[in-house]
Amino acid sequence: MIWIYVVELLGLINVVWSSLEIGIEDIERRIGRKMNDAERKAGREVFENSPKILNYRKVILYPFAIHDNSFLVFPTTKYSEIEEGKREHVKKIIEGLPRLTLWCMGFLNVPFCRESTMMLSDEVLQKSGLYKHFDSLSKKYEEDKMTFGDLAKKILEGCKGTLEELGKLFVSKASEEIRKLKDLPNPDSEENKKKKEEFKEIKKHGELICNKREEKQIFEVLNMAYDRCLSLWEREEYRENFIMKMRLKKLYVKEIKMEIKEPLSDYANNQISSIGYLDHDLLIKIDREHGGEAVGELMKETFLEYKSDYKNEINRAVLEVEERKRREEKEKRKEKRKEKEEKERKEKKANQNA
């Protein structure tokens, strides 16, 4: 069971590491032992699939606040409901949420972007003056005027108009790096050619996310993901699924005695578990063809277990929703039948008394 956690960690933290070997070395250093062949094989499969999964318009956010593999805040949580000893952690997570939100909106799985997008996102938000707006939202949350899910949605809405500026920064930075490569003594070396192609891809990506239509679709999908997650949270059995998942992760960490000598940043440690990887076009298609419940079901499975192939999972999600609707319809018919029988019984009794 331990390798499940290690594989999942590789899949999630691939947004930080630039190669499988670096990722494995980092994990081995943290867990204090060498990974076995099964762990390495599973990790390689996850990592090699990741570039197809972790890319533009394939990142979503879950409205949770997580620390040390435990839920601090649920979508429905108000500030007064948070334990006093955990409020500082929650404040730090909320402080980084605008930057994380914009990072997810403009994400591209290229090493330069993975390492610099968070910094560029911060630069855009600083210049826009939006941090004052986000601070006022945080204060409203602390005054119990909204839930954490409401706060996350309002932060997403606040970031809506900033993606174009992030795109312009991508174009500017990539163009600058391309110019630097041209001025090198050996600009045509294999390594520099590879870097040049990478920066061309980044520049193209920047131009793409400057498009208002693209920004609108990214916003709509992230907003839909929040809404579906809030709907999931209304079902007790699903809440238990989410909570049990985090408890299992915590047990895995404890079992492998993971000692983090060089802790990941607050972003990676506390917020990486709030990120999900689902193709936006796929979510739109499922929502259009099968409805929001099927989207929610797929989101639940994505959070509960790392996936690299969603074809079977989509079919299962759709069938699960259809089966649940049949059960609910059956219960409704049963209730109506009982109400009808009760009504007839009362009418019969009234007639007898008359």
Tens digit of each residue's pLDDT (9 = 90 or more) over 318-339: 666 667 667 777 788 888 888 8
Give 310 or 350, the one with higher predicted confidence. 350
290, 70, 310: which is closest to 300 by C-alpha? 310
pTM for the full predicted model: 0.70
Q: What is the mean pLDDT of residues 164-189?
A: 90
Residue 4 confidence class, pLDDT cut points 50, 70, 90: very low
How many angstroms separate the Cα of 284 from the Cα of each of 76, 218, 295, 318, 336?
Answer: 25, 11, 9, 14, 35
Q: What's the chain's average pLDDT? A: 76
pLDDT at position 155 is 94
Q: What is the pLDDT of residues 181-220, one digit of tens each?
A: 999 988 889 888 888 888 888 888 888 888 888 888 899 9
Give 254 or 5, the one with higher predicted confidence. 254
Distance between CA 329 and CA 323 in Å, rounded? Answer: 10
**Secondary structure (3-state) at 20:** helix
Question: Residue 154 pLDDT more than 60?
Answer: yes
Residue 224 in any domain: the answer is yes
Question: Residue 77 pLDDT more than 80?
Answer: yes
Q: What is the mean pLDDT of residues 249-268?
A: 45
Give helix then strand counts, H and E, for the chain.
15, 4
CB neighbours of residue 98 within 10 Å: 26
Residue 229 in any domain: the answer is yes
**How many domains is the chain partitioned into structurally?**
1
Residue 303 in any domain: the answer is no
Question: Residue 263 pLDDT more than 50?
Answer: no
> Residue 265 in contact with residue 118, Cβ under 8 Å?
no
Long-range contacts of 227-231 (CB under 8 A, 24+ apart): 227/292, 228/292, 228/295, 228/296, 228/299, 229/62, 229/63, 229/75, 229/149, 229/296, 229/299, 230/63, 230/75, 230/76, 230/149, 231/292, 231/293, 231/296
Range of the domain at 125: 2-277
Residue 271 in any domain: the answer is yes
The region of weakest confidence among 24-28, 36-40, 176-180, 270-274 is 270-274
Residue 321 in any domain: the answer is no
Residue 334 in any domain: the answer is no
User: Ramachandran region of residue 144, left (φ > 0), alpha (ψ -120 to 50) or beta?
Assistant: left
Give 308 or 328, the one with higher predicted confidence. 328
Residue 76 in any domain: the answer is yes
Residue 284 in any domain: the answer is no
> Residue 170 in contact with residue 206, Cβ under 8 Å?
yes
Distance between CA 221 and CA 56 in Å, rounded? Answer: 13
Give 82 or 71, the one with higher predicted confidence. 82
Distance between CA 171 and CA 165 in Å, rounded? Answer: 10
Question: Residue 82 pLDDT more than 90?
Answer: yes
Give 7 or 32, the one with higher predicted confidence. 32
For the ranges 204-213, 217-226, 289-298, 313-322, the maximum mean pLDDT occurs at: 217-226
Eight-state DSSP code of residue 265: P
